[in-house]
Amino acid sequence: MTFADCQKIITEKGHAISALFFRPEGDPKALVLIVPAMGTNQKYYAPFATWQAYLLPELS
């Protein structure tokens, strides 16, 4: 089972950036960074990120 964790990151200049982290069960074996297109809601990529979090532990 994969779950998403929403975190707010504050930059050095005080700007807030929202980030979604999709984590697999157990220890992650790799990292995938998905950089969304401008104007695209990051939730659009949730199905792909969930699939990656499910797939990556099986690759090792």
Query: Which 3 state secondary structure label does DSSP give 4?
Result: strand
pLDDT > 80? residue 58: no
Residue 44 has φ and ψ, to the nearest 5°, of -55, -35
Tell me the whole-structure pTM to 2 decimals: 0.59
- How is the chain split into domains, by residue range? 3-59
As a whole number, mean pLDDT of residues 2-15 equals: 87
DSSP sequence for 30-59: ------PPTT--GGGGHHHHHHHHHHHHHH
CB 18 within 8 A of CB 41: no
Separation between Cα atoms, residue 42 and residue 30, nearest integer Å: 20
Confidence of residue 1 (pLDDT cuts 50, 70, 90): low
